[in-house]
Structure 1
């Protein structure tokens, strides 16, 4: 996946001008607080890990809860989270 973009990754409100949103790399957009440039996805863009995970943080935030739930605890611990079986 390329880090440059021709589109905004905002999922909500943003005070960042549209032209800048289209030129910013996705990583920069995601590092800006959601109160300034909302890239959240109704709670879906967060990790449910309850411990040290070997899954990269960006993937944890992008992965659906179901994927996090089926990963072994030794790889991506979720015991005690709201997706705990």
Structure 2
């Protein structure tokens, strides 16, 4: 088993199938891995619960929720908010 350093290097933090090569995952600091979009390199507790992007229609403009907050919320939270407040187009 590989050991990790204080930056989380030495192991992958992916929680699902990643498009990033394994050696790159192991060498990258944890913060870099978590900054990648989930569709490229999922690191959330539940793969598919992507963050760092909005799930509201019209690139987030169909929402009264501030865009920075939209981008940090898990997809399941965004979809749970009523469409009149945050329109994801699905309910």
Query: TM-score with structure 2 length normalisation?
Result: 0.44
Give the structure with higher Rg (CA). Answer: 2
